[in-house]
A and B are shown apart, each in its own frame.
Chain A
C-alpha cells in the first residue's frame, strides 16, 4: 500500500496549482480520494464529523442495486434459453446474461464518466460521486438488447442535459438515469418498446420455440382481447404472480425482480440512505389508483382497468422505480410532508398512465420524471406553510 501511496503522492505536484497538469486536478483528486481516504481534519467546530461522506452514501445505493443487477444478469440468460427452448444450468444462464449486459454497464460508466470528469475539469470542482449510482441505474432500465451506441447517446443525454446543464449533482431537477432513458424512448422507440427487444435473441443464429411472444407482462395485460380480463391475459401469456414477484419475466434487464428490489429497499431504509416515506407512498398511490381503475372497469373499457391493483406493483419498472428512482434524494421532494405527496402522486400517475395511455404500457418512468419537475413546487408549499406557521403562532 505504501508503494501505491508514494506513487500517487509523487504525482501530486504535477496536478497542484502551477503544475503542468493543473487543469486535470479533478481526475487526480478523484483517483486519489477513491484509493486513499482523505486525512483532512476539521478546522473549527463541529470538531468531530460523522463517518458518512458522499462516496459512501452513493455506494450504499450501488450495493443496494447489486441484487437487482445480479438477478438481472441471470434472468437475461434464463429468458434467452427459455425462448430458444434450451435448458441451461444456473451458471450458464448467469454467464450468458453477464456477457450480454456487461458491455452496457461498461459503456454507461465510461461514457457517462467521461462527461462527468469533463465538466468537473471545466468547472474546476471535484468529480461528484453521484455518478456511481447513475452509471449503474441507467443500464438496468434498458433492454438487454439495446445497441451500445444508443446506450452511449442515452447516458450522454442523461448526464449532460439531465444534470450538468443544471450545475451538476445536487443541482439537477430530473433524475439523470431516467432522463437518459426517456430520451432513448422517444428517439429510438423501436429498440426500447414493443415485444421484440426484451429478450436477448440473435435472430441470425437463434431459433425461437413455437408460440414465443417476447411480450412483457405489462404488454400482455394491455393487449387482453375481447372479454378477457387483464389478469387472465397475463396468466395465459405464461406469467404467474410468483414469476413476476421473483422476476422470471421479460423486461428491462435489471428491473424485473420485485424481490431483489425489496432487498435493495431494506438496505436503503436500514442505512437511512433511501426514504421509506417515498417508497411507501408510491406503493400507496399505485394501490389507490389501481383500485379506482378496478371500480371504473366495465363492459367495453380498456382491459387493463380490471388488473388487480397489487399486480401493478409487480409489473414493469414499478418496483425499481419506487425503490431507486423515486427516492433519488436530489430530484425528489426534500421535506417529509413533501415526500408523502410526491411519492403518492408518482404511484397514482404511474398506474394512471398505464391504464389510460394505449400507446405506452409503462407509466413509471414518465410519472417519476413528471413528479421530479413538481417536487420543488411541492416543497415550496410545504416550506411556505412552515413560514406561515411561524408567523401565526403566538
Chain B
C-alpha cells in the first residue's frame, strides 16, 4: 500500500452538494438506455417498438461484438426508439409493467471460470460496466488486462458521497472484487481517499491492493491514479466504478440483472438536493420536478459540471452517472466592461479575482463561457491543474498537428477528457482540451 499525496489540481467549490438523505423511488414508469453513452461503439437493435421484454432481456448489442448485450432494466414493453442526427439511435425507452419478471442468469461459485464470467456478464448486460484505458470505452472481453483499477473516491465538483452510496454494499462489493479478479492475471487496485472516514466496503475488502490518494481534483480520477500507481504504456488496463463492482457482485449473487442505482441531485439551482434509490435509465423528470428548480433557466447535466452531458428535463440519466448537476444558465444580459469587474462573485482558478481573497467557501456558478475563443497564450498554469507528468499544451498541439507518434510520446494514452477538464476550465483562451484529446484518441484508434 502506498500513499500518494498529489499537490497539483484544483477544487472548484460549487455550491449545492446533495444532502445525505435517501428517497427510495423504486422503479419509474419508463426507463431508457442511451447507446450514445457508449463512446466508440455502434449499437444494433434486438427489439422494435412494441416488443415485450423482461428485466434482463437484450435491447441491443454492439455492432462490433454481438455477444455484448444491453438489457432492459425492467419488464415491460419497448415504447419508443428515438433517433438523433443521421438516424443514430439515441434512446431505447421501455415502459415498466411492474410485473418484475426477470431472466435468470448463472450465479457465481469458486469453480466459475473467466470465460463463464465474461459470457454471463455479456449476456446479462453487465459487461458494459467494465471499461478500459486507453480510450475510456467498454472493455474488449478478448483482451487480457494488465490490471484492473477501482477508484474509491470522486473529487469532481458536487460528486456523490462515496460512503453514502456504498453503504450496505460490503458483501456485494467483495463478491464483485472476487469475480473481476478472475479477469486479470494482474492485480485489482483500489484507491481510496486518505484521511477520509473509513468506508466499510473498502476497509475490510480483500483480494485488492489498496493505495490512498490525497489532493484536489482530479486526484479521484482513475486515469490520474493509474498514472501514479502503474502507468499504461502499450498495454491495456480495465477500470470499474466501485458501485458497479458491487452491482456485478449482486448480479452473480442473485442471478438477476442488477439494475439498482443511487443517483444524487445536486447544484445550487435546486431547492432540494438529495439522493434517490432508483434504477438504471431513470428519467430526469422522476428525480427533479419543475417545482424543485430554483432558477427559471437551468442547465441539467447528467454527471458532474466538468465532464457531464447536458440533458433535457424529459431526458434520462446516463449509464455511468450517479449524479445530476443542476446549475443556472449564464445570464442573458451583458455586463458593461464585465471582463474587468472586480470579481467578488466570479469564480476562477486565477487569483486576479477578488473572490480569491474574500472568504468564500463555495461559489454559485453558471454556464457563461466567460470569454472568447483565442489561440493559446497562457503557459505553465495548465500543468498546475494536472497531477500527471504530461504537458497539456504540447499534447494538444501535437494532436492538432495529427502527429500520432508525438502524441503517444506525450502521453495521450494515459489521459481522457475528464483528466484534462480543468485545463479547459482555467484556459483564458477557452480552448476545449477534452475535445482535442478525444480527436487524438479517435485518430489513433482509426489508424490502429
Contact = CB atoms under 8 A, between A and B. Distances in A.
A298 interface: no
A57 interface: yes
A41 B351 contact: no
A139 B166 CA distance: 63
Contacts, number: 223
Contacts of A129: 374
B412 to A, nearest CB: 11
Chain B: number of interface residues, binned into ranges: 35 or more
A57 B337 CA distance: 14
A383 interface: yes
Given A46-B421, A47-B305, A389-B389, A56 B428 contact: yes
Contacts of B329: 41
A197 B298 CA distance: 62
Interface stretch (B111-119, B208-216, B273-281, B307-315): B307-315
A204 interface: no
B352 A50 contact: no
Interface string A355-369: 000000000000000
A271 B369 CA distance: 20
Nearest to A271: B352
Contacts of B365: 48
A53 B431 CA distance: 11
Chain B CB count within 10 A is highest, among A5, A42, A329, for A42
Given A38-B372, A56-B350, 4 more contacts: A49-B424, A170-B375, A272-B350, A391-B409
B350 A271 contact: yes
Contact of A56 (B14, B339, B426, B434): B339
Contacts of B299: 47
Given A37-B334, A275-B380, A126 B350 contact: no
Interface of B: 12, 14, 157, 231, 233, 299, 301, 303, 305-310, 325, 327, 329-340, 343, 346-353, 365-381, 383, 389-391, 393-394, 406, 409-411, 417, 421-422, 424-430, 432, 434-435
Interface string A319-345: 000000000011010111001000000
A36 B351 contact: no
Nearest to A50: B348
Nearest to B414: A390
A270 B357 CA distance: 11
Given A51-B346, A53-B372, A57-B378, A44 B310 contact: yes
A7 interface: no
A52 interface: yes
Contacts of A332: 379
B106 to A, nearest CB: 38
Contact of B428 (A33, A57, A169, A336): A57
Contacts of B373: 126
A40 interface: yes
A42 B369 contact: yes
29 contacts: A1-B336, A36-B334, A36-B338, A38-B370, A38-B372, A40-B368, A41-B369, A45-B309, A46-B305, A46-B421, A46-B425, A46-B434, A47-B299, A47-B327, A48-B305, A48-B306, A48-B327, A51-B348, A56-B340, A57-B350, A57-B428, A60-B352, A128-B375, A168-B375, A272-B352, A273-B350, A334-B391, A336-B380, A379-B394
B379 to A, nearest CB: 4
B366 A48 contact: yes
B380 A48 contact: no
A330 B393 CA distance: 12
A387 B422 CA distance: 23
A386 interface: yes
A171 interface: yes
A54 B425 contact: no
A34 interface: yes
A174 to B, nearest CB: 15
A42 B428 CA distance: 14
B142 to A, nearest CB: 25
A205 interface: no
Q: Which 3 A-B pairs have the closest CB atoms?
A: A37-B338, A53-B371, A170-B375
B140 to A, nearest CB: 24
A39 B380 contact: no
Given A48-B12, A50-B350, A55-B371, A387 B410 contact: yes
Given A334-B393, A390-B389, A55 B339 contact: yes
Nearest to A33: B372
Nearest to A59: B340
B376 A39 contact: no
A52 B383 CA distance: 17
A29 B349 CA distance: 26
A48 B425 CA distance: 7
Contact of A329 (B305, B336, B378): B378
Scoring A36, A170, A334 by chain B CB atoms within 10 A of each residue's CB, the highest score goes to: A334
A277 B384 CA distance: 14
Nearest to A2: B333
Contacts of A272: 350-352, 381
A335 B382 CA distance: 10
